[in-house]
Amino acid sequence: MNDPKKAAADFLTVCPDNRRESCERALDLLVGAAEGAPLFNVDFKAAKETLSYTIERAYEARVSEPFLHARGWNPEAALDSHLGLNDGLHSMMAKAKKLGKLKPESKLEDWKFQDVNPAMVEAVREVLDAACPVAELVKELKGQVVKGRKPAKPSAAKKEALAKEAAKRTCPCCFRPMALNSDGKVVRHGWQEQGGRQAGSYGNAWHVGQCFGVGYEPYEMSCQGTKDFHEHLLKTKAQMERELATLEARPAKLRGSYRKGRGFNAEHVSFELEDDGASLEDVKGWRDGPSKDCPTGSYAWNLRKRTEEAKRDLRMLQSDLNTLAKAVEDWKATA
């Protein structure tokens, strides 16, 4: 984790004066959580909203207003379009990644990156350099959020007790702080809600999936859940490796679907593509990817995209396996 205090100080350098007080409160909350203070979901959400709104205003004041407003379509507007929407903290990391990949000769619609006003590029970098460390901090703190209702105006002693309690209730699989049920097992968590919840109407929503660690003793008491999850993921890895091997063998046909239309009238259209012999090395998204005339994209584009995603997912899974194996190796009963 980057230095939270430095990240907070850098963020304030681009903060508009009328947003400074609220930003300081939000940043103090995040810095405190990074140092071990309990982080309740209601406070975490409010802090994210405050900082996201602030960085949007900062980007407008330092970039949009001086370089884009009422200036028509020009190299600066092309760069702004390339970087994507100015949509809060989470968009800043994506912008920074795209900006970092640009070279002087990189194309931006009708211009090249070298045609863009250097003052605008510097202004964009200043905002992104201030925003990205805080965005990364928010991402890292997500796993520390304490679930459940926030106690009303807890005392300092109560905050310390809550932090200690949270540290003793670690899920043996996702390693997030969780409460225990009456049997001393980890409570249900990790599920996602689907459907359309409506006030006054029952049965419109349902829960899908849950963390593998539900029902196990917490990690402080036993690592059996960690061992079982590791074995479970090894089977998943084997299946994923078989699927990757099938893709790398270049199947004769690829099946998939795409979304046609919008809103309630949208539908999923199935498709099947046959191998046309095209080289994967020559694939270009703007030419071979989905378009109005060809909503499926080419066979080579689909195969390359799925192969890259399969390799990425395997890397992420292996990282999880390494974490679980290390947790089993290092386990000692602490509760």
Contacts of 259 (CB under 8 A, 6+ apart): 266, 267, 268, 269
The helix or strand, by DSSP H or E, that contains position 80, with its residue range, turns out to be: helix 75-83
State if pTM tops 0.85.
Answer: no
Residue type, 137: L
Nearest to 195 by CA among 183, 207, 186, 184: 207
Q: Which residues pair with 269 in a beta bridge?
A: 258
Half-sphere exposure (CA, 13 Å, Cβ side) for 199?
0
**The pLDDT of residue 195:** 56
**The pLDDT of residue 238:** 95
Successive 10-residue mean pLDDT values, the chain, 335 residues = 86 92 93 90 92 93 91 91 87 91 91 93 94 92 84 71 68 88 88 56 57 92 95 94 95 92 84 91 84 90 93 94 94 81
Q: Rounded distance, CA 276 to CA 279, Å?
A: 9
Q: Six-digit token pair at 110?
A: 């009708």
**The pLDDT of residue 218:** 92
Strand 107-108, strand 192-195: pairing: unpaired
**The pLDDT of residue 201:** 46
